[in-house]
Amino acid sequence: MLSFGQHSEDGDWVEHRVDTVIAAGETDYQSYLFFRSPVHGVCVALDGDIQSCAEDEAIYHEALVHPAMLLHPDPRRVLIMGGGEGATAREVLRHPGVGEVVMVDIDRRFVELCGEHLASWNAEAFADPRLTVLCRDINEYLCEPGPGFDVVIGDLVDFSDPADPAAALYSDPLYARLRPRLEPGAVVATQAGGVTTSRTAAHAHVRATLRRAFAGVASYGVVVPSFYHLWSYVVASDGPLPAAGELPLERFSHRAAERGLSLPATGAVHLATAFSLPAAIADSLDQPGS
């Protein structure tokens, strides 16, 4: 019997049975594996880490995209950093007021593989004329002048250690390059990794970096079953954000209804309650240096 295993936080080992290997190999940037699990459906792993699984990818992607989109009163232009699977773009494009989405992912081969093997996730998004896909380095792209964005979504590989190459994707220089490309009141959101009551350092690093760049930050999290942890996110803006423990329920529900937006995997209520993290986790994020 084939299986795929990975470390999940320190000391934990998660193993998935593999019914079928769909595609495996290496691009110029990373190794990839697409496989079918009897529990989670089609799964995608990069460099040995699960990125998404068919049965619950919508939970992850709705939680990543819609809080930022609903916090903004009228998002028209959206930038996606990463997002090669196309599901982040799919969720952004569900907002009827969006006129342009730019997705910048460095790995052209991975984007092509996702278009081939994850078409049920992304086919409509990749065919949408409002979406432009650029396969290039996000740092280089942000160095160029261009029109501003109302919302920016970071769907990038996990940050785990300041010495890791991925740290550059959650760094002060990146956000310094991003700032000139933001419209007034812009909202930035990024995934910030799995958290447990004793493991919040990676999330706290992402949060602290955004706090240095923006007037306000807010953390939230949802359970993604195939990740086997509470998965965390951070939103940042110079405009108003939910205070710690605040439930932006009225704002989310009203704007979702205004836009005719249904969130089948999560719901506006669930995304609002996601801003009330368990106290044991929320308190650790407010320690000095977080």
Instruction: Report d(CA 141, CA 136) in Å as an integer.
Output: 7
HEC string for 116-179: HHCHHHHHHHHHCCCEEEECCCHHHHHCCCCCCEEEEEEECCCCCCCCCHHHHHHCHHHHHHHH
Instruction: Report d(CA 89, CA 184) in Å as an integer.
Output: 22
Q: Is 155 a residue of the active site?
A: yes
**Alpha helices, DSSP H, located in the chain:** 57-71, 87-92, 108-117, 119-127, 138-142, 172-178, 201-213, 249-258, 268-273, 279-285
Residue 185 φ/ψ region, left for φ over 0, alpha for ψ in the -120 to 50 degree band, beta for the rest: left
The residue from 105, 155, 164, 238 that is catalytic is 155
Instruction: Report d(CA 218, CA 21) in Å as an integer.
Output: 39
- Annotated active-site positions, please? 155
